[in-house]
Each structure stands twice: as C-alpha cells, then as structure tokens.
Amino acid sequence: MSKIYTPFKPVVDAYGRVIVNTKDIQAFEYLLGKNLKDIISFDNSTEEQREQGLPILPRHFFIFVGIKDGETQYKPYEYNTYRLVVSTYKDIIINIESIG
C-alpha cells in the first residue's frame, strides 16, 4: 500500500520570510551512529560510493555540530534550509536535533 502524500505547510518566521522544509528529520536517520569523517557530501561522492551504500548527504546539505560531547556550540542566527544540526559524542552522531 502506498503512502498518502501530504504537502508541506509553509511557516512564516518573525521577519515575514516563508520557510518550507522539504525534508524531514526521519529522512536522515541513516546518519545515526555514523562517524562524522565517514559521511560524504554529495559533491564529493562517486558512483561507486553510491552503489556501496556509504552514507552520502543529499545535494546542498551540510552538517553542523550543535552539541559536541555534551557542550553546546553556537549556531548562526540565520535560517538555512540545508543545515543539519546534530549532537555528537566522540565524533559519532547520536541525535539529529533539527534542520535549519
């Protein structure tokens, strides 16, 4: 049985800009338990790496470590739809905090 498509609802921030997330946190669960050094950006990936099933980020996405070994890191104020905020322990991703 196929899943029912639910369109994304746009959200307006405090400055009147429209924010639409096209990805969900559940789409990045494959990164949990992976080392930061083992994750490959889309631009640096090859066809052989994709076939092997290595952890590759979608195009334009990048990882920002929000909590490193229990210490909160400072995140930029501006919203970025491609920023994945994660928490790590000894460079292993333990939680995906948010997108943006």
Q: Give the predicted TM-score (pTM) of the model.
A: 0.70
Q: Is 49 helix (H, G, I), strand (E, B) or coil?
A: helix
Residue 89, sorted as left (phi over 0), alpha (psi -120 to 50) or beta, turns out to be beta
Q: Residue 66 sits in which domain range?
A: 22-99
Specify the CATH number for the domain of residue 70.
3.30.10
Comparing 1 with 18, the larger pLDDT belongs to 18
88 is a domain residue: yes
**Is residue 6 assigned to a domain?**
no
pLDDT confidence band for 1 (50 / 70 / 90): very low
15 domain residue, yes or no: no
Residue 26 inside a domain? The answer is yes
* β strands within 1-100, DSSP E: 11-12, 18-19, 62-68, 71-72, 83-89, 92-99
Residue 17 lies in a domain: no
Task: State the total domains in the chain.
Answer: 1
- Mean pLDDT calculated for residue range 39-45: 87
- Per cent of the chain over pLDDT 90 is 18
Do the strands 71-72 and 62-68 form a parallel or antiparallel pair, or are they unpaired? antiparallel
- Taking residues 13-35, report their average pLDDT: 79
Least confident of 2-11, 29-38, 56-65: 2-11
Tell me if 61 is assigned to some domain.
yes
pLDDT more than 70, % of the chain? 85
pLDDT for the residue 5 = 55
Instruction: Read off the pLDDT of each residue in 69-95 and give the average, rounded to a whole number.
Output: 86
**Residue 16 domain flag:** no
Is residue 10 in some structural domain? no
